[in-house]
Chains A and B, each alone.
Chain A
Amino acid sequence: MSETHAQTVAYVRDTMLPEQPPPASQAGVVRWLRENLFSGPLNTVLTLAGVATIYWLVGHYYGWFARSVWNAGSLAECRQIIAATWGEGLSGACWAVIRDRWHQYLFGFYPPALYWRPVLVFVLLFVALAPVLFSAFPRRMLLFSAIYPVLAIWLLWGGSLWPEVMIVLGVVLGYLALRLLEPRLPGFAIFGAIGVALAFWAWGAGPLADALRALVPVSLTPAASDRFGGFLLAITLGVGGIVMSLPLGIMLALGRQSDMFLVKALSVCFIEFIRGVPLITLLFVASLLLNYFLPPGTQFDIILRVMILVTLFAAAYIAEVVRGGLAALPRGQYEAADSLGLDYWKAQRLIILPQALKISIPGIVSTFIGMFKDTTLVVFVGLFDPLKGISDFVRADFAWKGIYWEPYIFVGVIFFLLNFGMSRYSMYLENRLKRDHR
């Protein structure tokens, strides 16, 4: 202390007191606990109840998880190991079943020698998704994303490459037709383009593919649809359904908002019908009823049938979610678009949909997550979903008969990881697109 700071007037303090530590109840862990867990009688009771529940759960199940066996040839062997290691009469987790059958949970009955194909498809899925999901990636990668579905179909099901090339060629031809017709027949060019593509697929593609096949045979070992199972099936159905249902759902939402009576009526009927019918009913239609309507002997691929139905189902829900986003936009946005002289499609593309879809993101992702989980329902039409279909097979082997929780937990964890990833991405996207100044 220097002289100038000496106390000159007895009752005036002109120096700062050193800072005191906050009282124990207002600092660190204690404060956090007080504020977050014990801030009132109700919260205190809830906290205690929560702790008691966790304690009870851990107390009940910790032992089971702690006594995990990873190396065994059968459930009986697991039990022996548990009895030998931890004592008689105790139960434990027998993860050996996952170790023994993990490939069936992942790939179903896909030929083991060809496992590299689904794995490659899965890896490429991220390459294809990257430019769609994250704007940091070069736009040129979108070209690969466009080709990816066809490439994935070829890699998964195998067979000759040329039919897949024909699909791409049809799209390219349609696009060329669109560019040629657009200046001459504005408004109708899109129908012309679709017509050209369909005509090519109906009459041109078959012979051309055959000719090319004879000329340059490029083909992979075919893998039939009935070999698909487990997560390969769930992810194929899920990704296929998501990719197709989003555009379809947006079209339906726009159709429902449309001023054209027929378009509106059809959209409303479709949406309400699909939403009013349980998914299992639709799956049964896909797997059984269709066989009665189609000519006898027709083999309409079951995975494709189910994928179409799942897509339609998800699209109806997406349509309503997007309609919510459209309805949330202030009327002024529509009027602003009109006053700029934009036509309907340009207004939707540049002004309405970007805002409406941004609002709808949580709903859309929820629908996708729900749809992805619903793919396990395909067990009812004889496909091998990972949750029950594959587990039933595994339990039908006497070595694993009686195993119950382990497969469910394993499948549940994988589903959780995938869905959690989707949900985190949607949060990231919401943050990135945030334009208001909250």
Chain B
Amino acid sequence: MKTSVFLGTLTAAGLAAGIASAATLDDVKARGELNCGVNTGLVGFAAPDANGNWSGFDVAVCKAVAAAVLGDGSKVKYVPTTGQTRFTALASGEVDMLARNSTWTFSRDTDLKLDFIGVNYYDGQGFMVRKDLGVSSAKELDGASICIQTGTTTELNLADYFKANNMSYQPIAIDSNAEGEQQYIAGACDAYTTDASGLAATRAAFADPDNHIILPEIISKEPLGPAVRHGDSEWGDIVRWTLNALIAAEEYGVTSANIEELSKGTQNPEINRLLGVEGDLGKMIGLDNDWGKRAILAGGNYGEIFAATIGESTPIGLARGLNAQWTQGGLLYAPPFR
């Protein structure tokens, strides 16, 4: 490291040489900071405020993992990644994990050598149209011009959907959400399509939200989840079970308000194991027994995070829908902590 001291300065901020081991956990602990790949800015999911502090639904996952591993949810370095750079950044080791509303697909999981460790948001692609268009279903959009972001899965879904329903459409290519909104408002396209969560946020930000409707059809499955690299299953386990801990905590009614109370011991052995009162689950993933408690304390359980970032009380106003617990008719189902 001595020679690198100079080179580091010569390069103005660092050329810290050192051979990284395959174990991401050790790297993160040695660094004392979790490098988390996030979106370059998506309302409700990842956004920095005026002071540069990140918050959002995806950011909460980063915080929970940092809290579980490092004991402090603020020890995260957020690396904004674009749609093009996100997977390379993960594969090249620039980030330890990706929490960037990325759809879990077959080819990404296998060919791109990522491991999606679960789903933190079940999304789907929807359409927004002006009310005066008189359309109430996506099936009536035959011949419409549609604003669509290029290079995304939404573009392919749109083509599939219209082909399957034997309809035609005129794509208006856009580059970013902001541009899409602008084009749509200016009347360059009849409909705007993107993930339903994005549509809701976009509509809520309009000057006249009542003049626009989101069509009921959801034309694709977009399970968005955090991802890690292939080949380091120990690290993958940590991220996976941190997310599961957040989901399970909601199911068992563990909230940031009552967690101190519950961590003194409860009648429910599952909660006890989750919070490290019983058993030694933490040891099995290379952490201490309090990891689950710290992860939940970082931002609350899944439901609390949802409510605080994108839920119905926020301006974005997303309903739980598919993202409710399995006991509430949703798809969230954490495997047992045993």
A contact residues vs B (CB 8 Å cutoff): 75, 79, 91, 100-101, 103-104, 109, 112, 153, 156-157, 159-160, 163-164, 166-167, 201-203, 205-207, 209-210, 224-227, 287-288, 291-292, 295-301, 303-304, 379-382, 384, 388-389, 391-398, 401-402, 404
Contacts and interface: CB of A to CB of B under 8 A. Distances in A.
Interface string B1-36: 011111111111111111110000001000000000
Interface in B102-129: none
A100 B50 CA distance: 7
B5 A209 contact: yes
A380 B178 contact: no
Task: List the 8 closest pairs (A to B, CB-CB), nearest first.
Answer: A297-B20, A163-B9, A396-B41, A396-B47, A291-B92, A401-B205, A109-B52, A402-B205
A206 B12 contact: no
A296 B42 contact: no
A300 B19 contact: no
Contact of B93 (A91, A291, A300): A291
Contact of B9 (A167, A224, A291): A167
26 contacts: A104-B50, A164-B9, A166-B6, A166-B9, A205-B6, A209-B5, A226-B79, A288-B89, A295-B17, A299-B16, A303-B13, A304-B13, A380-B82, A380-B85, A382-B85, A389-B80, A392-B40, A393-B41, A394-B41, A396-B41, A396-B47, A397-B43, A397-B50, A402-B205, A402-B206, A404-B182
Nearest to B175: A388
B70 interface: no
Contacts of B3: 202-203, 206
A398 to B, nearest CB: 5
Interface residues of B, number: 59
B20 A398 contact: no
Interface string B258-279: 0000000000000000000000
A398 B19 contact: no
A159 B13 CA distance: 9
A297 B39 CA distance: 23
A205 B3 CA distance: 8
A398 B316 contact: yes
Contact of A397 (B18, B49, B79): B49
- Which of B7, B39, B42, B48 has its CB near the most chain A CB atoms (within 10 A)? B48
Interface string B181-210: 110000000000000000001101111000
A348 B207 CA distance: 64
B47 to A, nearest CB: 3
Contacts of A303: 12-13
B75 to A, nearest CB: 14
A322 B144 CA distance: 54
Contacts of B315: 398
Given A202-B3, A382-B82, A389-B40, A297 B49 contact: no
B44 interface: yes
B27 A300 contact: no
B19 A297 contact: yes
A405 to B, nearest CB: 9
A206 B6 contact: yes
Contacts of A381: 85
Contacts of A159: 9
A382 B79 contact: yes
B33 to A, nearest CB: 10
Contact of B2 (A79, A109, A210, A395): A210
Contact of B8 (A100, A101, A163): A163
A306 B12 CA distance: 13
B295 interface: no
B205 A75 contact: yes
A288 B13 contact: no
Nearest to B178: A395
Contacts of B182: 404
B20 to A, nearest CB: 3
B17 A298 contact: yes
Contacts of A298: 15-18
Contact of A224 (B7, B13, B17, B46): B13
A381 B20 CA distance: 23
Contacts of A160: 9
Contacts of A401: 43, 201-202, 205
Contacts of B19: 295-297
A376 to B, nearest CB: 14
Contacts of B94: 291
Nearest to B41: A396
B157 interface: no
B12 A207 contact: no
Contacts of B207: 79, 91, 402
Interface string B75-94: 00101111011001100111
Nearest to A110: B52
A290 B39 CA distance: 22
Given A210-B2, A392-B41, A201 B316 contact: no
B332 to A, nearest CB: 24
B273 to A, nearest CB: 35
A52 to B, nearest CB: 23
Contacts of B84: 380
